[in-house]
Structure 1
Amino acid sequence: MSTSFERYQKRKLISSYFSVVLSISLVLFLLGVLGLLVLNTKKLADHFKEQITLSVFLKDNAKQVEIDQLQKSLVLAPYTKNATYVSKEEAAEQHSEEIGENFIEFLGYNPLKNSIDVQLNAEFVTPEEIAQIAEELSAKGYVEEVSYDKPLIALLTENVKRVSFWILVVCGIFTFIAVLLINSSIRLSIYSKRFIIKTMQMVGATKSFIRWPFIWTNVKLGMLGAVLALVLLGGLLYYMDVNFPELELLQDTLFLGGLFLGVFVLGVIISLLSTFFATQRFLNLRTDDLYY
């Protein structure tokens, strides 16, 4: 009879621990996926920004040494991702391919200019930064004009800010929900042991002595749940990298390491705080209130 009851209690305890670990792992997994979404949203935004081209058109009397010096200085500039010299002949050939006919034969001359096409690093693709860069380049005597798509840059910058704001809002909501779910699971687990807590208190055990085993147990469960969430997250990363290699999900190892560490630490901290406040609540209850 006693052995049967002990087995029942053991199964009940294991079931309680399993539900806590499962809830923690699933919630942390969703938070990790959200973190990956944040990373790839930024990468996608940076990708579009770095497709913006700043064209520096050169005067016909510009010397080759001046052109070479300008290109070298642009390549070494902190805002430059890539700088390519395009001669007027190459530009004419490209334009003819785009329109499907040789416009030089029709005009009788080539109206295009030699130019340097500059692709900027993403952090410099803002209306203010590009305007400043264009002003500096236009001040050079052998530069005819600096051209770029101002409306597109303004629209892109505005949309990136809007998307980033809403992603932060969603992250905050999900984190709040994660705390609530994990806290509820741990409170339910401790609720089933409220009589044990009160019995220990009645025989003279201090609050810290009663709290510590619960905190340590649930912190270990939080660690286990976090590890399980990271395994699931690693599996998702591997699947996405195999099927969508162009996303380069595994390239940013520093961010991924920070994300994995953040998920693990978050699981431990939430488990610790939830256990502390849940046990404190039952420690402060009167005996009669334990039945409600």
Structure 2
Amino acid sequence: MAPSFENFQRRRLISSYFSVVLSIFLVLFLLGALGLFVIHSEKISNSFKEDIPMSVYFKDEANDTILKAFETKLKSSAFVKDFVFVSKEDAAKNNKDIVGEDFLEFLGMNPLPNSFDIHLKSEYVESAKIKQIESDIKTNEMVSEVIYDKKLVELANENIKKISFWILVISSVFALISMLLINSSLRLSVYSNRFIIKTMQMVGATKSFIRKPFIWRSIRLGLIGSGLAIIALIALTFYVDGLFPNLGIAKDYLSMFIILGGVLAVGIVITWISTFFATQRFLNLRTDDLY
């Protein structure tokens, strides 16, 4: 009977440890993932803004000299991230690839203009600034038209501000919930040992002596949970970096260090504080109240 009871107790203890580690891992992983998103939210928003193209179309009278001069001007412009020159011939070829038919055969001419597809730097993708850039470009008499999605620019700026605000709110709420969940798991773990705590106290052990093994055990569990969360976050970072290499998330070592270090620190601090107060509660209870 005794070995059977000991095996039962051991299995129950392992199950308790496993649930604590799993809770810490899941909570810290989700918290870390949210932290990565918050830190890189500006990069994400900037990447989205810089993907909004501005197309500048030239009149047929614009010769190679004028086009080259405009290209030189773009290279020296502070607002330009990158640009591509699309000749009339390239535009016709692209149109043929999309439509599947060669319209030049029945038109007998190429009506498409020479153009530049420009991507602006994120700080210039704002309604007022982009309108000023449009006006400056139109001062060139050979420019026939400047086209960009004005509505998308307005929506991007408005929604990014709203999203940033709600991300901060959600992050704060989630951080609080995370602490409560980890605290709850550790309190249940200490609760299962309440009689051992009271027995040690009754034979004369000091409170600090009783707390020490419980705190160290919780810190070890916190380290295991944090370690698993860190491994999962590194894997997530490289996965996202593979999907969006232009963001350079995996190469941002400082942000990675802050998030992973924060996950490790939170895992240790929360387990220490939670276990300290959980054991303190049972140390202050009368023996009759344990039942």
What TM-score comes out, normalization by structure 2 length? Answer: 0.72
Q: Does 1:75 align with 2:75?
A: yes
The CA distance in 2 between the partners of 1:51 and 1:288, in whole Å, is 68
The CA distance in 1 between the partners of 2:107 and 2:282, in whole Å, is 90
Matched ranges for 1:243-254 at <5 A? 246-248=243-245, 252-253=249-250, 254=252
- Residue in structure 2 matched with residue 14 of structure 1 by the alignment: 14
Q: CA deviation at 1:213?
A: 3.0
Note if contact 1:21-1:225 (Cα within 8 Å) is conserved in structure 2.
yes
Q: CA deviation at 1:271?
A: 1.4
Q: Does 1:178 align with 2:145?
A: no
- What SS does the corresponding residue of 1:252 show, helix, strand or coil? coil
The CA distance in 1 between the partners of 2:70 and 2:180, in whole Å, is 58
Note if contact 2:16-2:189 (Cα within 8 Å) is conserved in structure 1.
yes
Deviations 1:221-272 (A, max 9, x none): 011012223344556667x57xx95444995212555444433333223212
- Residue in structure 2 matched with residue 213 of structure 1 by the alignment: 213
Matched length: 286
Q: CA deviation at 1:133?
A: 3.2
Segment of structure 1 superposing worse, 250-259 or 96-105: 96-105
CA RMSD across the alignment = 4.3
Q: CA deviation at 1:161?
A: 3.9
* Unmatched runs of 5 consecutive residues or more in structure 2: none
Deviations 1:1-27 (A, max 9, x none): 877766665544333322211221233
The CA distance in 2 between the partners of 1:9 and 1:98, in whole Å, is 69
Note if contact 1:83-1:116 (Cα within 8 Å) is conserved in structure 2.
yes
Q: Against the structure 1 CA distance between its residues 131 and 249, is the aligned structure 2 distance closer, same or farther, given a 3 Å change threshold?
A: closer
- Residue in structure 2 matched with residue 271 of structure 1 by the alignment: 271
Q: Against the structure 1 CA distance between its residues 113 and 247, is the aligned structure 2 distance closer, same or farther, given a 3 Å change threshold?
A: closer
Deviations 1:58-105 (A, max 9, x none): 577778666445424433545433212334565566568777634995
* Unmatched runs of 5 consecutive residues or more in structure 1: none
Note if contact 2:40-2:249 (Cα within 8 Å) is conserved in structure 1.
no
Note if contact 1:96-1:102 (Cα within 8 Å) is conserved in structure 2.
no
Letter in structure 1 aligned against 2:194: R
Note if contact 2:23-2:185 (Cα within 8 Å) is conserved in structure 1.
yes
The CA distance in 2 between the partners of 1:196 and 1:150, in whole Å, is 69
Letter in structure 2 aligned against 1:290: L
What TM-score comes out, normalization by structure 1 length? Answer: 0.71
Matched ranges for 1:30-179 at <5 A? 30-34=30-34, 48-57=48-57, 67-87=67-87, 90-91=90-91, 101-102=103-104, 105=107, 114-138=114-138, 146-179=146-179
Letter in structure 2 aligned against 1:155: L
Letter in structure 2 aligned against 1:148: Y
Q: What is the aligned-residue identity percentage?
A: 49
Deviations 1:114-141 (A, max 9, x none): 4432112445433244234334444567
Deviations 1:183-211 (A, max 9, x none): 11100111223344344455665544443
- What SS does the corresponding residue of 2:51 show, helix, strand or coil? coil
The CA distance in 2 between the partners of 1:46 and 1:122, in whole Å, is 5
